[in-house]
Amino acid sequence: MKAWHLAALPLRRLAMMAALLATLGGCFAMDTEEELRAYLNKWVFLAQQRHFVSKSTCTIAVYDLASEVLRSAGPRQVTTYREAVLYLKRNRAVWFDMPGTTPHQVSRGIMSLDLPTGLGLVSAGVGPALDCIEDPGISNGFHAVMTSDKAITVYDPATNALLMLYPPEMLLLFMRGNV
């Protein structure tokens, strides 16, 4: 009887540790504010941060922009969906330079040419929208920008990040999911 308890003890500890790690896994944030700012500063000119939420499955952030211009070392500028798909399939970030095209139309255009690539773009927005946006005001703002023909869309498949620049209000909306 005593030997059974000694043999079972390590398995019980292992099971408890596994359960604890699984529980704590949901507590860690996908991004920190500092890491995200460093990532975004490579591509855009940021001013102050307005909103930031990061969970284990998603990140949502809103920043004021110091300039609506993308940095020259930023994502690859594309003017057609076909060109975008070529770069996205190579895991390269793209800036959709398509004036008058909403971020929603961009996602539909990519999906019509290459469903898996388009679904990646959609998941970068939908997952965070469902899991990370808790404030109705933020949700309404993201929806307004997603459907605005004045928004500029940037997608980075390597990090599953969707950026939407909104020049009329000098804003950057950032979404990243783990899907």
User: Residue 27: its pLDDT value, please?
Assistant: 56
Where residue 6 falls among pLDDT bands split at 50, 70, 90?
very low
What is the percent of the chain with per-residue pLDDT over 90, rounded to a whole number?
64
Please indicate whether residue 22 or residue 81 has the higher confidence score (pLDDT).
81
What confidence score (pLDDT) does residue 126 get?
82
Strand (E) or helix (H) holding 104? helix 103-113
- 37-84 tens-digit pLDDT: 999 999 999 999 999 999 999 999 999 999 989 988 889 999 999 999
Note the pLDDT tens digit of each residue in 125-144: 887 888 888 888 888 999 99
Question: What percentage of the chain has pLDDT greater than the value 70?
Answer: 84
- pLDDT the model gives residue 25: 43
Residue 12 is predicted with a pLDDT of: 55
95 has which bridge partners? 77, 154
Is the pLDDT at 2 greater than 80, yes or no? no
Query: Residue 13: its pLDDT value, please?
Result: 52
> What is the spatial order of strands in the sheet that 76-78 belongs to?
45-54, 58-67, 171-177, 161-166, 152-156, 94-96, 76-78
Six-digit token string for 1 = 């009887």
